[in-house]
């Protein structure tokens, strides 16, 4: 008998092959971040987690392999009408992950397609509740609204939407032209405002500079007046001090002269000198009066007094001349 035919006809070989196949169907090595969905007699039983797992062959079957990592799904461009009846073309990107592999298999036919369709519907609803300007200014609000609505809707599917972002919002060509004109007008307006504010600031700065200069000039003039007053005061003090010193010196000289005269007048010759001086002064006084007027009034005794005074002065002079 042919050996090959013998081996193939051996019951032991077939039993061994069936055991190996059964063992293979009963042992599963699940990779990290994967979930194997197991059915028992066609009914969901459990989800195999990462690592070595055993199932009952022919009774239990792995019917789905779900990726548990976070995934990104592109939301293709679609039309949406705003509250003020402007048609916009919007596209976005969605991030999601499967949290329950059994629900993602049993509760929805294609969870990725379902999530994409839900995102598109939710995005149109969000855009329809806003006006055109709000759509451009409130992207974060639109993203948050879509995310909140999808989180609640996808929970029964075993899917969690982690993030949604609008990539681009494209208005019609006519609207873009109007927006460009508006932006140009707004920039020109801001330019005019900035120019006016610059002129205003310059004028204020100049006025403040003039004010400061006037204040400094006034302070300088005041300081100059104070210094002049102090200098005048010092000059007056010095002048008064000089005059007082001169008066004091004259007084001291007069006092010294009087003291000397007094000492000399105690002698006989001194008394004679005093009488001579008095006589000379009297004659000089009469001469001054006579020069001032051609008429000299007298009480009748003036001539006698003058004569007496002259006589006494001559006598004193004679005495002084004779005195060795």
Please write down the HEC assignment for all residues of the chain. CCHHHHHHCCHHHHHHHHHHHHHHHHEEEECCCEEEEEEECCEEEEEECCEEEECCCCCEEEEEEEECCCEEEEEEEEEEECCCCCEEEEEEEEEEEECCHHHHHHCCCCHHHHHHHHHHHHHHHHHHCCCHHHHHHCHHHHHHHHHHHHHHHHHHHCEEEEEEEEEEEECCHHHHHHHHHHHHHHHHHHHHHHHHHHHHHHHHHHHHHHHHHHHHHHHHHHHHHHHHHHHHHHHHHHHHHHHHHHHHHHHHHHHHHHHHHHHHHCCHHHHHHHHHHHHHHHHHHHHHHHHHCCCCCCCCCHHHHHHHHHHHHHHHHHHHHHCC
Q: What is the pLDDT of residue 322?
A: 45
Please report where in the chains the tokens 């020069």 appear, as a residue. 291
Q: Is the pLDDT of residue 301 over 70?
A: no
Side-chain half-sphere exposure of 173, counting CA atoms within 13 A? 0
In the CATH scheme, what architecture does the domain 71-171 have?
2-Layer Sandwich (3.30)
Instruction: Convert the pLDDT of each residue in 35-87 to its tens digit.
Output: 999 999 989 999 898 889 888 888 888 899 999 999 999 988 888 888 888 88
Q: What is the pLDDT of residue 68?
A: 92
* Res. 309 pLDDT band, cuts 50 70 90: low
Q: What is the pLDDT of residue 228?
A: 87
Residues shown for the chain: 324
Q: What is the pLDDT of residue 314?
A: 55
Provide the mean pLDDT of the chain.
81
Q: Is the pLDDT of residue 321 over 50?
A: no
Q: What is the pLDDT of residue 71?
A: 93
Task: Give the phi and the psi of residue 159 in degrees, each rounded to 5.
Answer: -125, 140
Rounded Cα distance, 194 and 245, in Å: 75
Rounded Cα distance, 92 and 74, in Å: 6
Q: Which range (109-123, 236-250, 293-307) has the least confidence?
A: 293-307
Q: What is the pLDDT of residue 173?
A: 84
Q: Which range (7-16, 34-43, 218-227, 265-274) has the least confidence?
A: 265-274
Instruction: Convert the pLDDT of each residue in 205-223 to its tens digit.
Output: 889 888 988 888 888 888 8
Closest by CA position to 13, among listed 26, 23, 4: 4
Task: Give the phi and the psi of residue 83 in degrees, each rounded to 5.
Answer: -65, -30
Rounded Cα distance, 157 and 112, in Å: 10
Rounded Cα distance, 175 and 177, in Å: 5
Instruction: Tell me the mean pLDDT in the region 9-30.
Output: 80
Q: What is the pLDDT of residue 231?
A: 86
* Res. 320 pLDDT band, cuts 50 70 90: very low
Beta carbons of 77 and 89 less than 8 angstroms apart: yes
Which range has the top average pLDDT, 111-115, 217-221, 275-279?
Answer: 111-115
* Res. 97 pLDDT band, cuts 50 70 90: very high
**Would you kindly state where each structural domain of the chain is located, as residue ranges?**
3-67, 71-171, 174-264, 267-322
Q: Which range (12-16, 43-47, 143-147, 286-290) has the least confidence?
A: 286-290
Q: What is the pLDDT of residue 11?
A: 74
Give the tokens for residue 219.
């302070």
Beta carbons of 94 and 161 less than 8 angstroms apart: yes
Closest by CA position to 323, among listed 269, 248, 247: 269
Q: Which residues contact 135 (CB under 8 A, 6 or more apart)?
A: 82, 88, 127, 142, 169
Side-chain half-sphere exposure of 316, counting CA atoms within 13 A? 19
Of 244 and 255, the structure prediction assigns the larger pLDDT to 244
Q: What is the pLDDT of residue 221?
A: 87
> Would you say the pTM of this structure is higher than 0.75?
no
* Res. 323 pLDDT band, cuts 50 70 90: very low
Q: What is the pLDDT of residue 13?
A: 72
Instruction: Convert the pLDDT of each residue in 157-181 to its tens digit.
Output: 999 999 999 988 888 888 778 778 8
Give the tokens for residue 31.
């990779």
Q: Is the pLDDT of residue 290 over 80?
A: no
Q: What is the pLDDT of residue 266?
A: 66
């Amino acid at each position: 008998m042919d050996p090959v035919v013998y081996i193939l006809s051996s019951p032991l070989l077939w039993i061994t092959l069936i055991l190996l196949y059964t063992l293979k169907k009963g042992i599963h090595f699940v990779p990290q971040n994967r979930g194997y969905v197991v059915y028992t007699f066609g009914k969901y039983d459990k989800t195999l987690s990462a690592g070595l797992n055993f199932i009952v062959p022919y009774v239990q079957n792995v019917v789905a392999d779900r990726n548990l990592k976070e995934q990104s799904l592109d939301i293709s461009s679609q039309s949406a009408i705003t509250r003020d009846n402007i048609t916009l073309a919007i596209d976005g990107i969605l991030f999601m992950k499967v949290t329950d592999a059994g629900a993602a298999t049993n509760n929805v036919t294609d969870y990725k397609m379902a999530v994409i369709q839900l995102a598109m519907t939710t995005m149109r609803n969000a855009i329809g509740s806003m006006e055109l300007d709000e759509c451009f200014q409130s992207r974060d609000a639109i993203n948050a609204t879509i995310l909140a609505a999808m989180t609640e809707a996808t929970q029964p599917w075993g899917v969690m939407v982690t993030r949604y972002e609008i990539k681009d919002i494209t208005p019609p060509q006519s609207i873009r032209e109007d927006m460009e004109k508006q932006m140009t007008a707004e920039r020109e307006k801001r330019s005019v405002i900035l120019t006016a504010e610059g002129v205003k600031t310059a004028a204020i700065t100049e006025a403040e500079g003039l004010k400061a200069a006037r204040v400094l000039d006034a302070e300088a003039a005041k300081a100059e007046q104070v210094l002049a007053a102090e200098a005048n005061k010092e000059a007056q003090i010095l002048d008064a001090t000089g005059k007082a010193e001169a008066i004091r010196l004259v007084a001291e000289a007069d006092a010294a002269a009087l003291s000397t005269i007094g000492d000399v007048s105690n002698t006989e010759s001194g008394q004679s000198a005093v009488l001579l001086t008095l006589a000379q002064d009297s004659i000089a006084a009469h001469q001054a009066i006579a020069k001032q007027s051609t008429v000299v009034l007298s009480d009748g005794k003036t001539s006698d007094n003058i004569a007496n005074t002259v006589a006494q002065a001559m006598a004193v002079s004679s005495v002084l001349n004779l005195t060795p």
